[in-house]
Amino acid sequence: MSFHVRDLLKRARLAPGAVSALDAVMGEDWAIVDAGRARRHREIQMRGQGLSKSGDERHGLLPAHTRDVARMRPANGGGGRLPGRNPQAVVKMIRNGGASDMRGMKAQMDYLSRQGTEPLERSEANMGIEIDAAQETEMADAWRMPPEGSGRADRTSHFLASFPEGTDHEAAKRAGRAWAEEMFGSGKYGGDSYDYYTAFHTDRAHPHMHVIVYRRGLEEGAWLKVSQRSDLNYDSMRAVLVEVAGREGIELEATTRFARAVHDRPVPDAEYRRAAEERREPVPPAHTRRSAILAAAALMHQSRHFATQAQLVEATSPEAARVYQAASTAASHGGLIMAITRKISSREETKMNERVEAAKVEIRDNIDKVDRDMKAVGDGATRMRLARDIAELKAETAPILSNPRDLAPFTVAGTSGRYRGFDVDDPNATVARSAVEAKIKAVATRYGTDPEATVERYAGQVPSKGLEQQFDRAEVEERARSRVARGEGPEDVQSRDIALTKMHREIAAIYVNTRSRDAHASRQERDGATPAGRSGGDDGRTASSETQAQAQERARQARARDEAARQAAREANPVYQQVAAEQAAAKQEAARREEAKRQQDRADAERSKRERDDNGHGR
C-alpha cells in the first residue's frame, strides 16, 4: 500500500487552526483541541471508547515530529529567513573511510594526494605544513597507528565538505580549512580537540575538502563520535560550514528537507550509484505510513510558520507578507517553496527578516509591559485574575515568537495537580461554591496566604505550567508578607514548602468532599430516594425537589451577580483593557486567516473539478 503526502495535506488543510499539525494530518480519529481560556489540551476520541489505534500511533509519532520541528528552526536565528534560497551546505562522513593501521593510513594518503601530485596539509595546530615522508612517519607515531594488519577499530574518520559548482577555488579552500579547524581543532565540538589533515580537490564540478581526523582527543582522550545526541552532529557540521563559507563570500544554507517543503524520502547513495550506471534519474523510496505522516505534519507546521510571518509583517510590508503567504500555501499543498524563495535576493530576505524580528520585539515588549502593570496591581484577587488573562495571551503568542523558553510553559498544562476547582460544566458548582470559598478562605488565612487571591487561583480552569509557577511564587510572597505582619522571623524553604503543600491538600480535600457529597445527593434524587427527616410520599419528594431547585436558582443568580461585578472591575482596569484588546485583535486576525484558507480551498476544489471535466472524467 502506498501513502501519499499530498493526500494527507489535503485533509490537514481542513482542520481547525487550534488542532496541532500532527493531529491535523492524522485526521478525525485523533485530535488535540485548544479547549479555550486556560489553554487546556483535551484528548478527544471521535470514534469509540478508550484509546484508539490512531491514538497509540500518535503517541509514537509525537517525539519524532517534535525532533523534526526542532531541526527546522533556523540555526542562525531569524524566523523570517526563507529556506531554499541558497545552495545547501554539503557535509558527509565517508562510510568505511577511516584507517585502522599504518598500511591503511598510507594507502589513504596516497589516494588523497593523488600519488603525491596534490598537497596534504596538517592541522592549524601544526601550522598547516605540507605533509612529506618525514611528517607522515611522525603522524603515524603521534596517532599511535598499529603495524600493518593489527588494527581493529578505525583510528581515523574521513569527512568531506563540498561547495557549489563555480565556487572560487581559493575561497573554497580557505572555507574548508576553517571548517576543519572549527569542528575538530578548536575543542568546541565533540568534547575534545582532535588532530587532522586536509586534502583539497578540484577535479570535479564541485570543489571539495577532505578532512581526515584522528579519533582520539588530544586533551581529554575522548573518542570522536558523530551523533545527534551530542554537539558533533550533521546539523552542527552544516551550520558551521555555512558560517565559515559566508566569511569567504560563499552563500550557503543548512536547512532540512522539511523546512524547504521537500517531502520525498532521501535517495540512498546506493540508488544514486545504480541510477548512474543505468543512466536514469534516481528514484526516492516509497513512503511508509509513518514517514508520510511525519512528512505531512512537518510541512503543515512549516506552512503555519510562514502564515505567522505573513501576519507579523502584513501591516508594515504587504509585499513581504504576500511572499510568506505564497510559501505557506505551497508548503500546505506539498509544493516546492524554492521556486518562490529563490526569486528573493539576499538583501530583500534580510529586510524581510528584520521586519519579522522587529514585529516580534514589539509583541515581546507589549507582553513585558502588561506583566509589569499586572504586578503593580495592589489587590491580590484582581492580580490573579489578570495573571490568568495574560497567561492566555502568552499561550497564543508563544508560537509566533518560536516558543521562547520563558513563554513555552504557558502552552502546556500544569502537572502539580494544584488549583483544580469546580469544572465549568459542573451542575452542582453554583450551589456549593459560596460554602466552599468560605472554607478555602479560612484555610488560606491559617497558612498565611491571601484568602481572596487563593480563592481566585482555584476559580478558573486547571492552569498552564507557566501560570502554575506564577501562582506558586505569589503564595510564597504572600506567606512571607504575612509572617512579617505577625512579627515572625524568616522561614526556611523546606518548612515553607511543607506548609504550602499541606494547605493545598486541605483545599483539595474540600473540593473532593464537596464533589462526593453532591454526587451522592444527585444519585439519591435521580433514584427517587427521600432524604432523612422528610416525608416519604410523592408530595414530599416533589416539595424537596422544588426547594432544592429554588436554592440552586438563588445561588446561580447570586453567582451571576458576583461574576458581573468582577467583570465590571476587570473592564475598568487598564491592564485588562490592554490584554482584552490584544486578544480581540488576535482572534479577529485568526478568523480572517481561516476565511482566506476556506476561500483558497474552495478555489482549489473548483479548479480540480474543472480539470476533471476538461479531461472527460467529470461526467
558-575: per-residue pLDDT in tens? 666 666 665 665 565 555
Residue 545 — pLDDT band, cuts 50, 70, 90? very low
Average pLDDT over residues 463-487: 94
Output the pLDDT for position 254. Answer: 92
Output the pLDDT for position 533. Answer: 43
Average pLDDT over residues 213-233: 92
Percent of the chain with pLDDT over 70: 77
Q: How far is CA 300 from the centre of its chain?
A: 13
Residue 532 — pLDDT band, cuts 50, 70, 90? very low
C-alpha–C-alpha distance, residues 310 and 319, integer Å: 9
Q: Which helix (H) or strand (E) holds 200?
A: strand 196-201
Output the pLDDT for position 548. Answer: 55
More confident residue, 57 or 254: 254
> Which cell numbers in the block locate residue 238?
552544516
Output the pLDDT for position 431. Answer: 58
Asked whether the predicted pLDDT for residue 577 surpasses 90, the reply is no
Asked whether the predicted pLDDT for residue 293 surpasses 90, the reply is yes
List the helix and strand counts (H, then E) for the chain.
19, 7
C-alpha–C-alpha distance, residues 563 and 28, integer Å: 37
Asked whether the predicted pLDDT for residue 542 surpasses 60, the reply is no
Average pLDDT over residues 427-454: 85
Output the pLDDT for position 535. Answer: 44
Sketch the domain layout of the chain as residue ranges. 90-252, 412-532+541-572
Output the pLDDT for position 346. Answer: 83
Q: How far is CA 479 from the centre of its chain?
A: 36
Average pLDDT taken over every residue of the chain = 82
Average pLDDT over residues 463-484: 94
Average pLDDT over residues 309-314: 88
**pLDDT tens string 135-168:** 999 999 999 998 877 667 789 999 999 999 999 9
C-alpha–C-alpha distance, residues 237 and 184, integer Å: 10
β pairing state of 208-214 and 156-162: antiparallel
Residues 9 and 31: beta-carbon distance below 8 Å: no
The DSSP code for 264 is: S
Output the pLDDT for position 564. Answer: 65
Average pLDDT over residues 196-206: 95
Asked whether the predicted pLDDT for residue 320 surpasses 50, the reply is yes
Domain 90-252 has CATH 3.40.50.1820: no
C-alpha–C-alpha distance, residues 197 and 394, integer Å: 51
Asked whether the predicted pLDDT for residue 367 surpasses 70, the reply is yes
The DSSP code for 124 is: G
C-alpha–C-alpha distance, residues 457 and 442, integer Å: 15
Output the pLDDT for position 475. Answer: 95
Output the pLDDT for position 38. Answer: 33
C-alpha–C-alpha distance, residues 194 and 214, integer Å: 6
C-alpha–C-alpha distance, residues 359 and 325, integer Å: 17
**pLDDT tens string 20-66:** 889 899 875 444 433 333 333 333 333 333 334 445 566 678 889 98
C-alpha–C-alpha distance, residues 63 and 400, integer Å: 21
Q: How far is CA 487 from the centre of its chain?
A: 47
Residues 253 and 242: beta-carbon distance below 8 Å: yes
C-alpha–C-alpha distance, residues 319 and 34, integer Å: 32
Output the pLDDT for position 493. Answer: 94
AA letter at 402: S
Residue 526 — pLDDT band, cuts 50, 70, 90? low
More confident residue, 274 or 585: 274
Gap between the terminal Cα atoms of the chain: 29
Asked whether the predicted pLDDT for residue 463 surpasses 80, the reply is yes
List the single range of 149-158, 434-443, 541-550 with lowest mean pLDDT.
Answer: 541-550
Residues 61 and 338: beta-carbon distance below 8 Å: no
Output the pLDDT for position 424. Answer: 52
CA distances from 232 to 70, 155, 228 (A): 16, 17, 7
Residue 19 — pLDDT band, cuts 50, 70, 90? confident
